[in-house]
Amino acid sequence: MPKLAIVATIATAPGKRDEYLKHLRAHGERCRATEPGTLGFEILVPHDQPDSIMLYELYASSEAFDAHWNGPSIQQLRKEGEGLFVSLKATRCDLVE
């Protein structure tokens, strides 16, 4: 079964990227510590887009991603990030090894 990678772009409310990043970093740490199928969770900040965040996430399988997407950590992030988050665009990719 191929590993699943997610490449995502998050738009934050204007001027709220740093505040949202605080919650997103904590979420990434929780995921790596408590979700065995979460193999990687990297946060990137574009130089020329002050209200954008990019993510590169790696999961052991589609099922591992589904567990992540429906898990308690992301529920906490959604609650903490309320009003800071505008949109999410994500692309699912198979990892070529």
Please enumerate in sequence order all residues whose Cβ is within 8 A of that of 37, keeping only pairs 6 or more positions apart, or say none. 59, 60, 61, 63, 64, 65, 67, 68
pTM for this model (two decimals): 0.92
φ, ψ for residue 66 (rounded to 5)?
-60, -40
Res 21 pLDDT > 90? yes
pLDDT number for residue 5: 97
Nearest to 10, CA basis, from 71, 74, 85: 85
pLDDT number for residue 67: 95
pLDDT number for residue 80: 96
Mean pLDDT, the chain, rounded, equals: 96
Res 64 pLDDT > 90? yes
